[in-house]
Amino acid sequence: MTAAGTGGATADLLHTISDYSANYLQDPRTEHTGSAVDRSELRRRLAAPLPRTGDDAETVLNHLIAHGEPGLLHSGAPTFLGFVMGGAYPVAMATEWLTSVWDQCGALYATSPTASVVEEAVSRWLITLFGLPSHTSVGITTGCAMANLTGLAAARHHVLAGQGWDVERDGLIGAPPPSILVSRGCHVTVHRALRLLGLGGQVQPVDTDDQGRMRLDALETALAAARGPRIVCGQVGNVDSGAIDPIADICDLTHDRGGWVHLDAAFGMWAAASPQLRNRVTGIERADSWATDGHKWLNVPYDCGIAFCAHPVPHRAALRTGADYLTPAPDGGRDPVDFTPDMSRRARSLVLWATLRHLGTDGVAELIERCCILARRLAAGLANTDGVTVDNDVVLNQVLVPFTPVDGSTDAEHLARIVAALQRGPVGWASPTIWRGRPCLRLSVCNWQTTSDHIDACIDAIVSAHRTTGAAARTTTIEELV
């Protein structure tokens, strides 16, 4: 395709996608949360060998829509309760389109002055929203996994520098080995980040209570036995139960021994933005680094995460990069590339800016509080059914539900059939987990569109699946559905 005349063609393509998008979002089928086809069918439709000659753009888009849509998981539906996946506010979706149209590289002030300044503004807003120290540094990442890597890279730099070791210059060989104390409830991305940082062999798990909260007696014992510099990884919102570690006490114990506290707070961080829920994360501002997501509870499109660090100098020292061709920000100003691992990145700050500006502080608080109220409604509605219990204290938006079968099947077999019925049914979508050795349905309420009517419909669907699944249902294993 030549460049001549492409302006009109581009406009036509964007109009095509705009019309399709509006119809897709209004189509009641998008409330049916599960995929309609299996992997083999998707491969047949979408994974043929690449042709020698390309198709015209309209044909390509039509093919992708026709054959890709049946394999979508409608995680933006208000009855989608799987994993911890929010939807996307209309203003966030529209800004995401604008971000692609503008096509800015958000690495440097020189590559996009607008994106750079917007990122500064978003950073200040989030620091204030969460009540973090005013000097906190911020990096906008692809998600909480990369935010955990960022915060722990800063932690590694800081604690080793305290031992006279420059890890960026000298590497890890010969460095004083740190002790990394990690809550058993922490997300797997914390462990992966530590492995990538060369610290996997230093990890010592810290026991948790029946809700998944770090036990202070276990932490105190581990800190006393630890040798070398210390990094403690806590959680704000257990990925299954939603439980929150005793943050203030963890900070006291760790800081008394000169350690660094990193908090994995992918969704629980947002409780700090609510006046009603803030007391559940008391002491959060006393940690040294934090990692959270925007594409979960803030309901911006994938992908968006945020790393915070109360120590800007080690944060920048751990991530900074430079080359003769990279134009530094004027007057020594902030360049986003110095605070995250990636360089070529889209201007994610624009979507955060638009969504936060649209909601305001009151709107963010209302979203978080409403989801927690709905989670409690969900738990109460399910707990009133014979053979259904709720295993966690519903402190945020997570609900854990084990079932007792009456047909002689095992808990795992019964749950697998319930999950299959939900994932293939017209209302609701949920996935299984294993909680303290027992198979459970894991339910998360974090979509801005979800109402009490949606929750009641999900309760009916779950209870119906529990009561009606039996020998006639297709045998499905938990492994197939996790």
Residue ranges of E strands in 14-171: 137-141
376, 445 contact by CB (below 8 A): no
Whole-angstrom distance, CA of residue 274 vs CA of residue 294: 16
pLDDT band at 35 (very low <50, low <70, confident <90, very high): confident
Q: Which residues contact 478 (CB under 8 A, 6 or more apart)?
A: 412, 415, 416, 419, 432, 439
442: helix, strand or coil: strand
pLDDT at 6: 64
76 compared with 125, residue with greater pLDDT: 125
Q: Is the pLDDT of residue 472 over 50?
A: no
* pLDDT tens-digit series, residues 253-301: 999 999 999 999 999 999 999 999 999 999 999 999 999 999 999 999 9
432, 81 contact by CB (below 8 A): no
Q: Is the pLDDT of residue 12 over 50?
A: yes
The residues facing 292 across adjacent strands are 306
Give, as one character, the DSSP assignment of residue 393.
-
pLDDT at 317: 96
Average pLDDT for residues 59-63, to the nearest whole number? 96
pLDDT band at 30 (very low <50, low <70, confident <90, very high): low
pLDDT at 16: 93
pLDDT band at 36 (very low <50, low <70, confident <90, very high): confident
* pLDDT tens-digit series, residues 307-329: 999 999 999 999 998 898 999 89
The burial class, CB within 10 Å (0-12 / 13-18 / 19+), for 45 is middle
Whole-angstrom distance, CA of residue 80 vs CA of residue 76: 7
Fold of 361-481: Aspartate Aminotransferase, domain 1 (3.90.1150)
Whole-angstrom distance, CA of residue 116 vs CA of residue 108: 7
pLDDT at 168: 95
269, 129 contact by CB (below 8 A): no
Give, as one character, the DSSP assignment of residue 244.
B
What radius of gyration, in Å, describes the C-alpha atoms of the chain?
24
98, 350 contact by CB (below 8 A): yes
Helix (H) or strand (E) holding 203: strand 203-206
Q: Where are the domains of the chain?
A: 33-70, 95-356, 361-481
Average pLDDT for residues 404-413, to the nearest whole number? 91
Q: Which residues contact 164 (CB under 8 A, 6 or more apart)?
A: none
pLDDT at 480: 52
86, 446 contact by CB (below 8 A): yes
Look at the chain and count its residues: 482
92, 299 contact by CB (below 8 A): yes
Q: Is the pLDDT of residue 475 over 70?
A: no
On average, the pLDDT of the chain sits at: 93
231, 155 contact by CB (below 8 A): yes
291: helix, strand or coil: strand
Look up tokens 């104390």; give the residue.
Answer: 181
Q: Is the pLDDT of residue 88 over 80?
A: yes
306, 141 contact by CB (below 8 A): yes
* pLDDT tens-digit series, residues 330-340: 888 899 999 99
Percent of the chain residues topping a pLDDT of 70:
94
Number of neighbouring beta carbons within 10 Å of residue 291:
33
Could you please report the per-residue DSSP string of 128-190? HHHT--TT-EEEEESSHHHHHHHHHHHHHHHHHHTTT--HHHH-STTSPPPEEEEETTS-HHH
Whole-angstrom distance, CA of residue 444 vs CA of residue 247: 23
Q: State the greatest distance between any 2 C-alpha atoms of the chain, in Å, as a whole number.
A: 72
Whole-angstrom distance, CA of residue 458 vs CA of residue 192: 34
Q: What is the CATH number of domain 95-356?
A: 3.40.640.10
pLDDT at 104: 96
Whole-angstrom distance, CA of residue 345 vs CA of residue 240: 31
In 15-25, which positions are buried (b, 16+ CB within 10 angstroms) versus exposed (e)? Answer: eeeeeeeeeee
pLDDT at 4: 42
Whole-angstrom distance, CA of residue 256 vs CA of residue 323: 40
Number of neighbouring beta carbons within 10 Å of residue 432:
20
Whole-angstrom distance, CA of residue 458 vs CA of residue 77: 12
Whole-angstrom distance, CA of residue 229 vs CA of residue 257: 9
Average pLDDT for residues 224-237, to the nearest whole number? 97
pLDDT at 173: 96
pLDDT band at 368 (very low <50, low <70, confident <90, very high): very high
Average pLDDT for residues 414-433, to the nearest whole number? 92
Average pLDDT for residues 129-157, to the nearest whole number? 98
pLDDT band at 120 (very low <50, low <70, confident <90, very high): very high
Give, as one character, the DSSP assignment of residue 482.
-
Average pLDDT for residues 50-65, to the nearest whole number? 95
pTM, entire model: 0.94
The burial class, CB within 10 Å (0-12 / 13-18 / 19+), for 188 is exposed
Whole-angstrom distance, CA of residue 289 vs CA of residue 260: 8
* pLDDT tens-digit series, residues 325-361: 999 898 888 999 999 999 999 999 999 999 999 999 9
pLDDT band at 38 (very low <50, low <70, confident <90, very high): confident
pLDDT band at 306 (very low <50, low <70, confident <90, very high): very high
CA atoms within 13 A on the CB side of 61: 14
Q: Is the pLDDT of residue 33 over 70?
A: no
